[in-house]
Each structure stands twice: as structure tokens, then as C-alpha cells.
Amino acid sequence: MGHAPKRRVVAIGGGTGLSSLLRGLKAGPFAITAIVTVADDGGSTGRLRAEMDIPAPGDIRNVLVALAEKESLLSALMQYRFRTNGALSGHALGNLLIAAMSDIAGDFAQAVRALSRVLAVRGVVLPAANAPLRLKAELADGTVVEGESNIPKAGRPIRRVMIDPPDAAPLPEALQAIREAELILLGPGSLYTSLIPNLLVPGLVRAIAESRAPKAFIVNLMTQPGETDGYTAFDHVAAVEAHSAPKLFDVLVVNTGPIPEPLARRYREGGQEAVRVDREVLRARGYRLIEDDFVLADPKTGLIRHDAVKVGERLLSSLF
């Protein structure tokens, strides 16, 4: 990608989607600020949240590792999970480090900053809020489900999600990064449990809406059981807008490449299908589409993800 001046990009999300995107973008001419969801309550993350009353460290840990200067032994240590039968069982060492650093620094955001220095992170990693957030979902039948990890298990369509407390404060640095951004990205990631929770933190949507920078939503490659069954690209955008503001993201990065058949079959068995791009609907509503074959298949894991380097290149060539 040459030695072009670095574009200030804010990437918003969580889960593995954001981490794999950032791994690709950090190689390009981007000065990255990641704003990461802290509403997770499963596994190691959930136990630390409950015991220490800190925001969820899991997604933050993955993003720190993804943006580390070199994914070194230190990165491997951050991702190490204890396999004992005792109290440490299932904990990721990186989650424990973030928890310990929060205690030492007296503040979660300060802890993330300190670990960023230790890992020589290329960019800035910010939690969406500096306090623990609990996610709730109202389902189509009116039932309310609490907890990020329980929402996809409910097995019914989601009407809307909410955060508790609803008045969680965004970090001033996050608002500043959005104000200074030359490009704002949302996704890829779990729509209702990784992406939308960030947009429920008051003030973040206003800052995004006021920005003059191009705003692109990277639409997921596949639907997700319990969250986006049968969703088209437009359904994804409509859900984002229902929780934020109309046309908040007016550029859509959509995949038009095929999913390799053996992998497609595996996904189908797990109740997932490729997200259909309903071009006519999207164009009629004035969205700008960046279309390409963005599929990167990993034969080792049997998973597909976005070709993040290609996403970065297409964003640069299409928007600047």
C-alpha cells in the first residue's frame, strides 16, 4: 500500500470480526483507533466481570493482540487459557492481566492504555464505555433476555437490544477520535451482541452523525444463528439504523464472492448461510456499495473471514 499518508480510521465493533479486520488494516496506511464493545458476559470474561466489577476484557484482549506490533510470545501469552481444574480453569491470561492492571491503575481504560504500551500496539484501543455494561434483548414475542451470551440461545428473532446502565458514558478519547477520523468503520461482527451495543452508548452516535468522514459498514459474510437468521444486507443496515440513526453508515462493504463449497456446507450444517446482497433495495435507498470477493478461507480452521487487506485497499481506492 506504499508510503501514502496515514488515514485516521476509527473501527467500531467487537468479537473476532473486529480483530481479524484490524490485523489486515494495521499493515496498510491507517492510523487506527479501535472502539471495542464491553458487554460480553460469557466464559472467563463473565467471571472476571462478576468478581471484579470491570467492563468485559475479552474483546479488548483480542484487539490488543491483533494490533500488537509483532504477534510474539507475549501475544501467545495473552491468549493462553488455563486448562486446570481449579479456580483458573478457562481463564485467558490476557483477561487476568487486564483485570490486574485495572486494579493497579484504578481504572479500566487506564489498564488498556498501559497494556497497549507493553504490547507495542499499533494504534489506540478504547473500551466503548469505562463501566461494565449489561446487554438485554427484547425478542419478537416480547420476552426480555438478559446477558450477551444468552441472547443468541433464545432462538427467537430479536426486536431490539438495550444496555444497562442506559446512560453509560463514552470515553472522551473515543469522542475525540471520532471527531478527528477520516474514515469510520463498523463491523464485521455479531450484529446485536458485538456491533450495536457500541452504538447504544449515548454520545457515540451523535459524534458519528456529526462527522464529515465517510462511514462504512462492513456487512457480515454469513448469517448468525439466533441473531441474524435469514438476514439480507439491508436487514443488517436496518437493524443498525433502528438502534442509532438513519443513514448513519451510508457506505456498505458487501461480499459478492462465492463461499467455497466444502466450507459453505459446514456453515449450512451450523444453520448459517451467505448474507444475500439485495442490491436494488440498497441502491434505491441511496446507499453506496463497495462490492468485491472479500472471502478469505482458512482451510486449517474451516472458517471464512473478510480479506481485511483487500477491504482496506478497496476503501482507500473508493473513498479517497
Q: Mean per-residue pLDDT for 208-233?
A: 97
Q: How confident is the model at residue 300 (pLDDT cuts 50, 70, 90)?
A: confident
pLDDT at residue 41 is higher than 90: no
If you search the block for the grid coordinates 446485536, which residue do you land on?
Answer: 192
pLDDT interval class at 172 (50, 70, 90): very high
User: How do beta strands 303-306 and 295-298 pair?
Assistant: antiparallel
Asked whether the beta carbons of 274 and 306 are under 8 A apart, the reply is no
- Written as one letter, the residue type at 223 is T
In three-state secondary structure terms, 192 is: helix
Q: Do 114 and 120 form a contact (C-beta atoms < 8 A)? A: no
pTM score: 0.96
Q: Is the pLDDT of residue 40 over 90?
A: no
Residue 5's pLDDT band (cuts 50, 70, 90):
confident
Residue that is written with C-alpha cell 489498564 in the block: 111
Chain segment 57-114, per-residue pLDDT in tens: 999 999 999 999 877 788 889 999 999 888 889 999 999 999 999 999 999 999 999 9
Under DSSP, is residue 217 helix (H, G, I), strand (E, B) or coil?
strand
Give the model's pLDDT for residue 44: 85
DSSP characters for 258-312? PPPHHHHHHHHHTT--BPB--HHHHHHTT-EEEEE--EEEETTTTEEEE-HHHHH
The CATH architecture assigned to 7-319 reads 3-Layer(aba) Sandwich (3.40)
> Which residues 6+ apart lie within 8 Å of 109 measured at CB?
126, 127, 130, 171, 173
pLDDT, residue 43, reads: 84
Q: Is the pLDDT of residue 1 over 60?
A: no
Tell which phi-psi region holds residue 58, choosing left (phi > 0), alpha (psi between -120 and 50) or beta: alpha
Using alpha carbons, select from 34, 106, 119, 108 the residue that is nearest to residue 69.
Answer: 119
Which of 42 and 168 is assigned the larger pLDDT? 168
Query: What strands lie across the sheet with 215-218, from one edge to the other?
Result: 124-127, 30-36, 7-13, 183-186, 215-218, 251-255, 288-292
Domain boundaries, the chain: 7-319
CA 191/CA 216 separation, integer angstroms? 15
pLDDT at 3: 66
Residue 76, pLDDT score = 87
Residue 8 amino acid letter: R
User: What whole-number distance in Å separates Cα of residue 277 and Cα of residue 186?
Assistant: 17
Averaged pLDDT for residues 164-192: 97
* Residue 217 reports pLDDT greater than 80: yes
The arithmetic mean of pLDDT across residues 29-46, rounded, is 92
pLDDT, mean over the chain: 94
- pLDDT of amino acid 4: 67
Task: Give the count of alpha carbons within 13 A of 169, CB side only.
Answer: 5
Closest CA to 36 of 94, 112, 92, 110: 112
Pairing of strands 288-292, 295-298: unpaired
Query: In this structure, which amino acid lies at residue 305?
Result: R
CB 148 within 8 A of CB 135: yes
